[in-house]
């Protein structure tokens, strides 16, 4: 009896990537999976979660998805070690999902897969790249796609910088106008709220009862106690608890039942009380492969309504440092006496 040999299907792995949590909650994952599903169904496959790689919140611009913590990076290492069989098909929505790195780095990663027998299918172009068809034409096509992905990210980065620059210019008018429109999408500090006015624009507005609590905390840190150094965060927390003051509940859920030392200390150092907003970026450290929260330029003044005077803010900051030294075992009686008699 003649046996019909059935050709064994290759292993198929779908790759999904998005740079931020908001993209995942939005349309990015669904869109990428839909394109991958079309290819799978067309070729007689079903979606198998065991063969879906996800890089959630990984930047392709900084090759974060190729790091040791990236799903694609782990996959590439398994390919090079021979754990992934030759002929495996990697389904990717677009070159921009694969990489947005400098073209020479993106192509190097791409060729690592091709040269190790991986068939890369780009769903958006309905094109497969493999070691048998990666000729001069396909090489130029892939390079042009990688270049476009990189340029798109650089363009977005430029627009972001322009956006922050525009925000600085707009915030400069706030102090003169006495109004503080919400220029950037962000949560309010807990002592402010967003109020939509007749012009349809949202503005930051102080919450009077919370502002009073903030001022009370600063007064305790500034002039509380008998030694001229104000009160520390631990004693301030006890006073607030004895007065029945509850912690703020802002736009982010806050389940704490009382103020604590770390919160009071953060509040006493929070420059938003002076009206400043400090923009941050999260670039990837090329040495460690980890994101580093980094200030983007100088703080933007007059972005929020100012609650605490600069003079009192600076005095409290100085007294926090003085209390550290005053309480230090290295500070002898003469050191403490100098603080008490200096009136600072």
pLDDT digits (tens, 9 = 90+) for 278-322: 887 776 665 666 677 778 778 888 899 999 999 999 999 999 988
Rounded to the nearest 10 degrees, what angle do helices 233-242 and 261-268 cross at? 110
Hey, what domains does the chain have and what are their CATH numbers?
12-154 (3.40.50.1390), 180-342 (3.90.1750.20)
Nearest one of 74, 83, 34, 35 to 54, comparing CA atoms: 74
The predicted structure's pLDDT at residue 1: 38
Please give the average per-residue pLDDT across 238-253, as a whole number: 78
Q: How confident is the model at residue 23 (pLDDT cuts 50, 70, 90)?
A: very low
Please give the average per-residue pLDDT across 164-191, as a whole number: 76
The predicted structure's pLDDT at residue 25: 45
End-to-end Cα, the chain, rounded Å? 102
The predicted structure's pLDDT at residue 193: 92
Query: Per residue in 120-134, pLDDT tens?
Result: 998 888 888 999 988
Please give the average per-residue pLDDT across 73-81, as a whole number: 92
Q: How confident is the model at residue 229 (pLDDT cuts 50, 70, 90)?
A: confident
Query: Per residue in 265-281, pLDDT tens?
Result: 999 999 999 999 888 77
Which of 28-37, 90-99, 326-335 shows the lowest per-residue confidence on average (mean pLDDT)?
Answer: 326-335
Instruction: Please tell me which residue, 96 or 79, carries the higher pLDDT value.
Output: 79
Which of 131-135, 137-141, 197-201, 319-323 shows the lowest per-residue confidence on average (mean pLDDT)?
Answer: 137-141
DSSP per residue, 17-68: EESSHHHHHTTHHHHHHHHHHHHHHHTT----GGGEEEEET--TTTTGGGST
Q: Enter the tokens of residue 45.
A: 């496959």
pLDDT(334) > 70: no
Residues 6+ apart with CB under 8 A from 271: 278, 299
Q: Enter the tokens of residue 248.
A: 């703020």
The Cα 120–Cα 125 span in angstroms is 12
DSSP per residue, 221-238: HHH-SSSSS---HHHHHH
The predicted structure's pLDDT at residue 22: 47
Please give the average per-residue pLDDT across 243-268, as a whole number: 76
Please give the average per-residue pLDDT across 2-25, as a whole number: 66
The predicted structure's pLDDT at residue 314: 96
Q: Enter the tokens of residue 126.
A: 């309905």
Instruction: Please tell me which residue, 130 or 41, carries the higher pLDDT value.
Output: 130
Alpha helices for 43-180 (secondary structure H): 71-80, 95-98, 103-115, 136-171, 174-177
Nearest one of 217, 209, 165, 211 to 304, comparing CA atoms: 211
């Amino acid at each position: 009896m003649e046996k019909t040999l059935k050709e064994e299907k290759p292993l198929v792995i779908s790759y999904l990537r998005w740079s931020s949590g908001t993209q995942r909650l939005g349309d990015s994952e669904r869109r990428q999976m839909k394109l991958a599903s079309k290819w799978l169904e067309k070729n007689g496959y079903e979606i198998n979660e065991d063969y879906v790689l996800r890089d959630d919140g990984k930047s392709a611009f900084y090759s974060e998805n190729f790091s040791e913590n990236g799903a694609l990076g782990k996959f590439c290492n398994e390919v090079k070690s021979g754990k992934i069989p030759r002929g495996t098909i990697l389904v990717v929505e677009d070159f921009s999902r694969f990489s947005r790195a400098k073209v020479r780095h993106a192509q190097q990663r791409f060729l690592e897969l091709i040269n190790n027998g991986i068939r890369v299918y780009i769903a958006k172009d309905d094109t497969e790249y493999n070691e048998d068809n990666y000729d001069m034409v396909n090489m130029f096509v892939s390079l042009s796609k990688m270049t476009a992905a990189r340029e798109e990210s650089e363009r977005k980065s430029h627009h972001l910088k322009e956006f922050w620059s525009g925000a600085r210019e707009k915030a400069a008018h706030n102090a003169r106008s006495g109004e503080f429109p919400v220029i950037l999408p962000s949560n309010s500090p807990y002592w402010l709220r967003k109020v939509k006015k007749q012009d349809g624009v949202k503005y930051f507005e102080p919450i009077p009862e919370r502002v009073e609590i903030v001022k009370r905390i600063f007064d305790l840190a500034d002039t509380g106690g008998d030694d001229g150094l104000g009160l520390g965060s631990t004693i301030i927390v006890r006073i607030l608890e004895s007065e029945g003051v509850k912690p703020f509940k802002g736009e982010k859920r806050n389940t704490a039942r009382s103020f604590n030392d770390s919160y009071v200390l953060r509040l006493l150092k929070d420059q938003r009380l002076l009206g400043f907003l400090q923009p941050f970026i999260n670039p990837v450290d090329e040495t460690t492969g980890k994101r580093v929260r980094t200030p983007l330029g100088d703080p933007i003044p007059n972005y929020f309504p100012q609650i605490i005077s600069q003079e009192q803010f600076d005095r409290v900051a100085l007294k926090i440092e003085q209390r550290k030294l005053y309480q230090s075992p290295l500070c002898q009686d003469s050191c403490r006496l100098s603080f008490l008699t200096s009136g600072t």
